Every structure is written in structure tokens, then in C-alpha cells.
């Protein structure tokens, strides 16, 4: 055990539920997101086997577990190239790009970048019936002491996910110009996701605690799209997910990279309850701004920058960063402690451990 948890008086589930309802838990809820290479180094540093995911989450005191139905159908997309990986369900292509700290799988080739409507119409998406919803139910029951969420930043995500197939430039052109082929691809992807989501809710909607959707809405300084595009092509799809979750009284949290707070008022009206990533260096995304502007109306998940002291500072720097963030975000509940995105490979493991230690020690109510 790397942190003192003897003072905890609530289950992970109760802790998160209280926080997202803007009530005080025993301590701030904690989450964990990371790249594969730093995850493996962290496990080695802590004396864990590289496949001991649950052991690491318990050691760090992570309160959340993500749940999803697993695909049971046949692969729909394949490749014969050794230097490429093709997603078997959706067909997007990645290649491994090394850097000085490790590497990552980057999207490339964009198989539908020049596709017209007929090719889009023929593109294969999985059948929502080809997923194991009974298995999902069993796993949810097994993890009932944790705060469980359906979805992730990819659920309901239009721009990024379509960009995997069309490329980012073409995707933004599709949205700006009402390009029929691009809009058809969006419709096919969203209807597939809604089909799976509906079946997941039908099976475990009464047993999970929240829903996680996503969309990147900002650059580091400005909106990524116009409000017109948001209202026309993005928010209506997100509203479908929010409304479906509302049937089960499930709060929805949305991943929003970059300077995204410009859209929060519209999402609050649509029924969104929480926002995450929350990169503090982006315009109008500092903890102070978010708490002062939206506190009590949204709950917050993130704010510990993966591009700041966690990667480039000392142990003292990350501890101070955590302290300052908690002092702003904790009062009145409504805050879930997390890195702003995946912890990157250039983060020293000592800093990562210090971050979680500080969250436990300084995050007590």
C-alpha cells in the first residue's frame, strides 16, 4: 500500500455518488488514466506484475471502474500490413510512432477520406446485437463496490472518431459544409453507438452510477468549431445519449479537451451534469474559472495537468499543484480527482506516485 487509507469511511461507490451530487464525501474521489508504457513502468516501480491492472487501481485507491459490453461477432476489417494496425470493428488504421519517452499508436491512412456516399453506406459497422450484455451484467455485479460508468471519451464523440476514418481536416470540412458523405458517416456511427448503449442500459442501467461521453470542443485558446456547428451537428446527437441516460437517472459526464467552457451553458441546458479533462492551461479552463462560473451546476473531473508539473516538475511541484487544485475544487463537493488526460510516457513514476499520495493526504474532507 502506498497511501494511508485507514481514515476512509465510505465505499468507493458511495464516495463518488456523494461527490457528483455536490455533497461532501469522506475524501475526494480518485481516478486513473494512463498510456501503456508509463502504466507498465509504474507497476514495476510498485512491485506489481505488468498485467495486474486491478492491483494497481486498488493500490492507488481508484474509485472508478469502466464497464462495457464486449464484442462477440466476427472481425469486420483486417490488414495484411505488418506496420499497420486496423481496428477490427470500425476499420480505422494506426501506426506506431516512437519518441524519446516511449511511443504511441497514431491514426493514419484515413480509409474514408475521399469516400462518397455509396462507399460510406457500404462501410461495415458492428451489429449492436453482437455484444455480450449478459457478461456485462455479471461484471457489473462483481464490481458493485466501485463507482461504475458506462461509456468513455469515445462514446458519442463525433469529431475525433469520424476523424479517425476521414482525417481531421476533411471531418471539419464535412461539418462546416454539410457534406452528405461525412454526415452519413456520423449518422451510421452514432446510431451504432446508440444501439449498443440502449442495450447496455436495458441490462445494467439500474446498477451503474454514471455515463461518460466525449467530444473535443476547443483548441488550447479558442473553440474548435462554431456554435452553429455545435447546435446543428454535435449537440443533437449528445442530447440523445443524455436523454437515454436520464431514463435511468444516470448523470452524464462529457470529455472536453482544450478550451471548451464556451459550450458548457448549452450542455447544462441539455442536461449534462459533469465535465472532464479540464486542461488548466487552456483558455477559460483554470480551476478558479470553472469553479466560479459553473460550480454547483456541473461536477468536475480532472484539472491535474499531464503537461505541467506531473511531467516536467519535481515531487514538490506536483504536490503543490495538487494542493492548490484541491483547495479550489473541493469545497461543496462536486470534484473528482484525475489527471487531465492519459498520463504520458514522459512523466517520472515518482511524480505519479506523489500525485496520488497527495490526493489521499490532502483530499480528506
Domains of the chain as residue ranges with CATH = 12-72+115-362 (3.20.20.210)
Cβ atoms of residues 301 and 62 within 8 Å: no
- CB distance 255 to 214 below 8 Å: yes
Tell me the angle at which helices 168-177 and 159-166 cross, rounded to the nearest 10 degrees: 120
Task: Provide the pLDDT for residue 105.
Answer: 93
The predicted pLDDT at position 344 comes to: 95
* pTM score, whole prediction: 0.97
- How far apart, in whole angstroms, are the C-alpha atoms of residue 57 and residue 34? 12
Contacts of 235 (CB under 8 A, 6+ apart): 266, 267, 270
Which tens digits make up the pLDDT trace of 154-166?
Answer: 999 999 999 999 9
For residues 80 and 95, give the distance between their C-alpha atoms in angstroms, rounded to a whole number.
Answer: 13
Angle at 158 between CA 30 and CA 148, to 5 degrees: 30
Residues of the chain with pLDDT below 70 are: 1
Model pLDDT, residue 1: 58
CA–CA gap between residue 93 and residue 46 (Å, rounded)? 34
Give the pLDDT confidence score for residue 81 in this predicted structure: 85
Amino acid at each position: 500500500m502506498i497511501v494511508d487509507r485507514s481514515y476512509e469511511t465510505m465505499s468507493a461507490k458511495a464516495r463518488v455518488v456523494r461527490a457528483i451530487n455536490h455533497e461532501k464525501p469522506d475524501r475526494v474521489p480518485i481516478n486513473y488514466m494512463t498510456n501503456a508504457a508509463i502504466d507498465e513502468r509504474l507497476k514495476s516501480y510498485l512491485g506489481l506484475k505488468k498485467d495486474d491492472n486491478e492491483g494497481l487501481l486498488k493500490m492507488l485507491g481508484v474509485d472508478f471502474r469502466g464497464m462495457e459490453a464486449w464484442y462477440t461477432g466476427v472481425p469486420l476489417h483486417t490488414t495484411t500490413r505488418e506496420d499497420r494496425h486496423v481496428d477490427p470493428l470500425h476499420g480505422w488504421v494506426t501506426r506506431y510512432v516512437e519518441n524519446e519517452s516511449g511511443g504511441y499508436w497514431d491514426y493514419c491512412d484515413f480509409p474514408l477520406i475521399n469516400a462518397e456516399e455509396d462507399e460510406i453506406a457500404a462501410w461495415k459497422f458492428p451489429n449492436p446485437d453482437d455484444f455480450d450484455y449478459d457478461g456485462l451484467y455479471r461484471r457489473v455485479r462483481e464490481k458493485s463496490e466501485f463507482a461504475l460508468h458506462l461509456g468513455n471519451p469515445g462514446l458519442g464523440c463525433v469529431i475525433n472518431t469520424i476523424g479517425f476514418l476521414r482525417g481531421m481536416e476533411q471531418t471539419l470540412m464535412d461539418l462546416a459544409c454539410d457534406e452528405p458523405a461525412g454526415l452519413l458517416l456520423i449518422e451510421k456511427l452514432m446510431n451504432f453507438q446508440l444501439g449498443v448503449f440502449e442495450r447496455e442500459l436495458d441490462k445494467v442501467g439500474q446498477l451503474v452510477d454514471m455515463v461518460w461521453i466525449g467530444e473535443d470542443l476547443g483548441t488550447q485558446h479558442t473553440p474548435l468549431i462554431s456554435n452553429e456547428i455545435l447546435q446543428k451537428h454535435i449537440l443533437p446527437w449528445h442530447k440523445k445519449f443524455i436523454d437515454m441516460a436520464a431514463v435511468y437517472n444516470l448523470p452524464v459526464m462529457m470529455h472536453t479537451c482544450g478550451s471548451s467552457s464556451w459550450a458548457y451553458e448549452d450542455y447544462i441546458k441539455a442536461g449534462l451534469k459533469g465535465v472532464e479533462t479540464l486542461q488548466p492551461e487552456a483558455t477559460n479552463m483554470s480551476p478558479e474559472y470553472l469553479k466560479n462560473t459553473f460550480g454547483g451546476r456541473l461536477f468536475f473531473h480532472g484539472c491535474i495537468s499531464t503537461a505541467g508539473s506531473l511531467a516536467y516538475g519535481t515531487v514538490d511541484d506536483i504536490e503543490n499543484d495538487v494542493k492548490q487544485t484541491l483547495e479550489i475544487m473541493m469545497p461543496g463537493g462536486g470534484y473528482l480527482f484525475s489527471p487531465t488526460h492519459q498520463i504520458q510516457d514522459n512523466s517520472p513514476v515518482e511524480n505519479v506516485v506523489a500525485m496520488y499520495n497527495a490526493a489521499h493526504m490532502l483530499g480528506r474532507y
